[in-house]
Structure 1
Amino acid sequence: MPVQPEHTRFKGIALPPNGWALAVLLVLYIFTGLIGHDPWKNDDAVTIGVVHDLVNNGQWLTPSLAGHPYPDAPLHYWVAAASSHLFAWILPVHEAARLANGIFTLLALAFIYFAARQLHGREQAPAAPLLLAGSIGFLFHAHEAQPMLATLTAHTAAYWGLSQFESRPLRGACCFGSALGLGFLANGLAPMLPLLPVAAFVVWRSKNRQRSALLLLASLLLASMIAGAWLAALLARSPDYLTDFWQLELTQLSGNAQAGLSLLNFATLLPWYAWPAFPLAGWTLWVKRRQLRSTSLALPIVAFLVTLAVISVCLGVRSAPALLLLPPLVLLAVPGVTSLRRGAANAFDWFSMITFSFFAVLAWVGWSAMVFAWPERLARQVNRLEPGFVGQFSWFSASFAVLATLVWCWLIVTSPRSPMRGIMHWMAGLTLFWLLIAMLWMPWIDYGKTYRPMSASLAKALPEKRGCIAGVNLADSLLASLDYFDGIRTVSPESPEGKDCAMLLIHGSPRTGNWHKIWEGGRPGERRDSEKLRLYRREAGRSGH
């Protein structure tokens, strides 16, 4: 009887992972942490604020934030609001809205799998979603309400479409056109611009350029119809909103004067942000250097370079737009996973196992300090960072965390030898780490990041008949949180209404003159004056700011 090859024996999860094992791992990673915490500062709070306004006021055509127009592409807000309606019976708006992000993220992972299968074959394709989900930068945004994730989904779908221009041209053109149009509705024109030169490159490389060019034109027409439906509705119903939206779009497209500096900053960001795809992509370039003209490698190379140039000029160095650099890096890194030399593959595997085992121990020790005040020195540090926090023991969270830790131990012991074992252990370890953070640390993190107690304190300080409140130096995330938690809205102090407001809410430096401070507050970790929020009342008989 012939000896069964080692990689086909059952030793834990088979590698490459089959569909069910891969799906369960990715679903567990994506949906853990989407619920169980309040809206957090920056994009998460802003997005949920827009969805909250959309759900309450029903202005689906023209999204707004805390009662003010918020000219932005609406697709992500539409899907999040629909998710909020669907799950309103069991979840609050902010948690139900984040489930839309989970859907977009899973779609992005599915499309990157299909694109990798088209470019590199079925055996290597599972590495693509593992590399994308396992990227450190992806972790930062995959579990927040983030419209850029919808754009990421559009990019991965577009790469899948472009990879089919030779084998299944009609389906590829339809997929690319739909992705382009929906991507515009997700985040505007600038994030989708890189796909146009990449599509032109695919047409130029095509064996039948005339057919591919016609298909590309058809796909652009399809994209224009999808995007134009919303723009035409705006023109008919809200032309002022359309004008503001296009003004913001043109501002982005005009670029910035420091594109070279942005490019340099991305070069320093990517090594950790795109780890482990970044070094594996570099290895692919080296080991496949004689095959760089092949479509499977040339497509992601061109896509990465064009995307890097466009976002450096139009979007600047921010963490969220850098997500768009991950799909081409991942597609380029896939061959590097299976071509790693045995020593390097084993080193990466051991690094993954040791790193996340160490992080798991740290997560458990930190949880012990928060809940049981042991170790004492660490417990004091925890209380210093978030004064007033009192940890509570949860049987459900602790049991789930124990189960996840045991599964991790089982996985690293039973995984069969395979070129994909390193990336599988990396993704599984990252999933374990995130599960432990979500199950054990989330109450402590949420305590320091939520605006809920501060908003409640401000609401109590406001008189019942308060009239309008002028707001100064209030970030969008703060406006969104105050409106979401307690229905507190402000107006611009420069507006006719704002000039006569008896109340003034200001973030940052104290206000002097004819204003009397009646309240001051902030989140527990905000101790500096520049971080405080203050409420003032105009002194009787005085006017103006």
Structure 2
Amino acid sequence: MNLPTPAIVAQSAVRRLPRLALLLLCVAYVLPGFWGRSPWKAQDLESLGYMLQLAQPTLSDAANWFRPSLLGQHDPQLALLPYWLGASFIQWAPQGWEDVFARMPFVAMLALTLAATWYAVYALARHPAAQPVAFAFGGEAKPRDYARALADGGLLALLACLGLARLAHEATPALSQLCFASLIFVGLSTLPRWRLHSGLAVGVGMLGLTLSGAPSVALWLGVGGSLIRAVAPIDPTLGRMRMLDLGLLALMCLLCVTTAGALDLWRWRVEPYAMVNVHILAELMLWFTWPAWPLALWSLWRWRAQLIQAWLYPHLALPLWFVAVMVGATWLTGLSDRALLLALPGIAALAAFALPTLRRSLGALIDWFTLLFFSFCALTIWVIWVAMQTGFPAKPAANVARLAPGFLPEFSGLAFGLGVLATLAWGWLVKWRIGSHRAALWKSMVLPAAGAVLCWLLLMSLWLPLLNFARSYGPTVQKLQMVTGTARCLQYAGISQAQGAALLFHAKVRLQAATAPSAECPWLVMDEKNLPLLNNRLQDLGWTPEATAARLGERSDRLLIFRPSQPLLHDTPTLPAAAKN
């Protein structure tokens, strides 16, 4: 059958991307941000708080594991699985390593997301409709080599997406949802080539997505993707999906519905007022999916002859369906970038199919824009780091002092060495790309992916102390402990879940809802914003303000510390007045 394909690719253009280089690029992207970073405000810290609560021996019964809570409040998303994984690893953690062990399953989830995206693009590119035009005298790209080159390009496109960096390095339900959505994607993409493994991937993905707080998304992706695979034309090399395959997929859907109903996971969080903010959605997609979205649009344009009947061509229909579902979910749930995160594998797959259709001028434009953009970003990171260390240039140093008052920079030889190695590698890659005119399909995505990895690595090495100071509650909790001393129990009133999680993690204290003062819990903390609402109530209970805990110059997230109005038996000693400032 003659298929309208715009891909014209010679065998010389599908040369193999060195596996070691690709592996090192992925490692340089995955590990920074998980290692050495304090939990940041607010979702990252809240998720750790849920895990710490679950990991406590007194809360390890089954009822609490099925209803995780923090400060007496249950998770509105009811994302059970990510908290189960984090809490299970925390129980094996040595003292002081709880956050490191809690992130271990999420490191594996991000790595699994990258691998699933690669195999999904590889499987879709093996479809006959996705293959390049056959030459009259031979020499066109072989199907296996062509699919491998596109898979490399799809993985590089995913790494290059700006929105992936921060959210994919947080131990939150968003990352687990991304991982399991990727498993659904790769499972449907590989059907019916690997029936057993594909069905297992779809089943695990749908069940994991359901237990990660997104049962509706799991059903939309699973049911819609299954229908796309069912109506696709017969592939003589792979065969067609059998009734057994469809029956297994239907069984997976039924299992997800049953699980969600039994655990009361159905929650509809549609926010209709946000539907009119189309321009905000466009702005979000513009930067969040950059630079993959221009290539994805180019791919849809160049493959438009197949797009008219896209349901017959799974290499277009399947990623397009995933993107459409997640963009719709983003639009209907308050324009959340965490929902849009799940669209990135599909957008990266569409971007990969643009690579065999790119004109040389367009590829050169991508290279030069990427070179200038990421080189400027890397230079900015280095200049500000030098200013923090030496005070020169003076203006960046003054800006850091103004934006992060009280921050004391420190030199780390390891961070400096990693930054130098990453920058030298970027310089070598730019020299290779400019000096060589290789015809490899993935060449246009090398600089975007490497530039994104470079900037993320520099931020998570050179700027990590500054970012930890600015985005964590560590300095605030240190000020609080100067007042409360070695108290192991704190009462609370009117604090956020992130503030409560910070007290659990940084102060290692037991939290108790506000009651009358007691010798076991002689201090009370409250968010300063809630003082007008709770001040009279706290006075009636016998509390009086003692001090404020906040970073120097901090106008938000200020914690008020209360002491008993009357002396208590076995009360803690009063601290010097200098500790109250």
Please say whether Structure 1 and Structure 2 have the same fold, judged by a TM-score greater than 0.5.
yes
Give SS of 2:460's match: helix
Which residue does the alignment assign to 2:280?
A: 265
Give SS of 1:163's match: helix
Report Cα offsets for 1:28-63 as digits up to 9, x if no partner: 111112111211111110111222223333457336
Q: Percent identity?
A: 27
Report Cα offsets for 1:251-298 as digits up to 9, x if no partner: 43xx22225236553222101100111111100111111121222112
Q: 1:184 to 1:28 in 2, by over 3 A?
A: same
In 1: Cα distance, 2:42 partner to 2:53 partner: 17
Q: 1:90 to 1:365 in 2, by over 3 A?
A: farther
How many pairs were matched up?
A: 509
Aligned residue type for 2:36: G
| Residue 151 (str. 1) matches residue 155 (str. 2) | no
Which residue does the alignment assign to 2:66?
A: 62
Aligned residue type for 1:205: V
The equivalent position to 2:500 in structure 1, one of 455, 464, 479, is: 479
Whether the aligned pair in 2 keeps the contact of 1:367 and 1:441 (CA below 8 Å) is yes
Give 1:104-123 correspondences, 5 Å limit: 104-120=109-125, 121-123=147-149
Aligned residue type for 1:269: L
Which residue does the alignment assign to 2:80?
A: 74
TM-superposed CA distance for 1:310, in Å, is 3.3
Q: 1:286 to 1:394 in 2, by over 3 A?
A: same
Q: 1:89 to 1:304 in 2, by over 3 A?
A: same
Aligned residue type for 2:354: G
Which residue does the alignment assign to 1:235?
A: none
In 1: Cα distance, 2:468 partner to 2:285 partner: 28
Which residue does the alignment assign to 1:301?
A: 320
TM-superposed CA distance for 1:219, in Å, is 2.7
| Residue 175 (str. 1) matches residue 197 (str. 2) | no
Give SS of 1:325's match: helix
Gap runs ≥5 in structure 2: 1-9, 126-146, 568-581
In 2: Cα distance, 1:201 partner to 1:156 partner: 18
TM-superposed CA distance for 1:114, in Å, is 0.8
Q: 1:361 to 1:501 in 2, by over 3 A?
A: closer
In 2: Cα distance, 1:439 partner to 1:467 partner: 35
- The normalised TM-score by structure 1 is 0.84
Which residue does the alignment assign to 2:5?
A: none
TM-superposed CA distance for 1:199, in Å, is 2.6
| Residue 394 (str. 1) matches residue 412 (str. 2) | yes
Larger mean CA deviation between 486-495 and 108-117 belongs to 486-495
The equivalent position to 2:153 in structure 1, one of 117, 120, 127, is: 127
Whether the aligned pair in 1 keeps the contact of 2:223 and 2:253 (CA below 8 Å) is no
Whether the aligned pair in 2 keeps the contact of 1:370 and 1:391 (CA below 8 Å) is yes
Which residue does the alignment assign to 2:298?
A: 283
Aligned residue type for 1:399: G
In 2: Cα distance, 1:347 partner to 1:228 partner: 51
| Residue 49 (str. 1) matches residue 49 (str. 2) | yes
Aligned residue type for 2:549: G
Give 1:350-365 correspondences, 5 Å limit: 350-365=368-383
Give SS of 1:536's match: strand
The equivalent position to 1:430 in structure 2, one of 447, 452, 477, is: 452
Q: 1:229 to 1:449 in 2, by over 3 A?
A: same
Which residue does the alignment assign to 1:518?
A: 546
In 1: Cα distance, 2:487 partner to 2:39 partner: 28
| Residue 219 (str. 1) matches residue 234 (str. 2) | no
Larger mean CA deviation between 223-232 and 153-162 belongs to 223-232
Whether the aligned pair in 2 keeps the contact of 1:466 and 1:503 (CA below 8 Å) is no
In 2: Cα distance, 1:52 partner to 1:95 partner: 12
TM-superposed CA distance for 1:341, in Å, is 0.8
Q: 1:523 to 1:502 in 2, by over 3 A?
A: closer
Give 1:450-469 correspondences, 5 Å limit: 450-462=472-484, 469=491
Whether the aligned pair in 1 keeps the contact of 2:385 and 2:463 (CA below 8 Å) is yes
- The normalised TM-score by structure 2 is 0.79
Q: 1:35 to 1:90 in 2, by over 3 A?
A: farther
In 2: Cα distance, 1:467 partner to 1:84 partner: 21
Which residue does the alignment assign to 1:338?
A: 356
Give SS of 2:66's match: coil
The equivalent position to 2:267 in structure 1, one of 250, 264, 279, is: 250
Aligned residue type for 2:300: L
Whether the aligned pair in 2 keeps the contact of 1:156 and 1:327 (CA below 8 Å) is yes
Give SS of 1:35's match: coil
Q: 1:412 to 1:18 in 2, by over 3 A?
A: same
Report Cα offsets for 1:216-273 as digits up to 9, x if no partner: 33234246557867986xxxxxxxxx5xx54xx3343xx2222523655322210110
In 1: Cα distance, 2:71 partner to 2:373 partner: 47
Larger mean CA deviation between 475-484 and 53-62 belongs to 53-62
Report Cα offsets for 1:75-126 as digits up to 9, x if no partner: 222333344455x359711122223222101101111111101112222111
Give 1:91-102 correspondences, 5 Å limit: 92-102=97-107
Aligned residue type for 2:25: L
Whether the aligned pair in 2 keeps the contact of 1:450 and 1:523 (CA below 8 Å) is no
In 2: Cα distance, 1:278 partner to 1:301 partner: 12
Larger mean CA deviation between 39-48 and 410-419 belongs to 410-419
Report Cα offsets for 1:172-221 as digits up to 9, x if no partner: 33321221012212234133243144235325514479955552332342
Q: 1:171 to 1:503 in 2, by over 3 A?
A: closer
The equivalent position to 1:533 in structure 2, one of 556, 559, 572, is: 559
Q: 1:173 to 1:494 in 2, by over 3 A?
A: farther
TM-superposed CA distance for 1:484, in Å, is 1.4
Aligned residue type for 2:406: G
TM-superposed CA distance for 1:323, in Å, is 0.4
Give 1:191-202 correspondences, 5 Å limit: 191-202=217-228
Aligned residue type for 2:213: N
Aligned residue type for 2:83: Y
Gap runs ≥5 in structure 1: 9-13, 233-241
Whether the aligned pair in 2 keeps the contact of 1:521 and 1:533 (CA below 8 Å) is yes
Aligned residue type for 1:510: L
| Residue 140 (str. 1) matches residue 166 (str. 2) | yes
Larger mean CA deviation between 223-232 and 149-158 belongs to 223-232
TM-superposed CA distance for 1:67, in Å, is 5.8
Give SS of 1:32's match: coil
Whether the aligned pair in 2 keeps the contact of 1:49 and 1:484 (CA below 8 Å) is yes
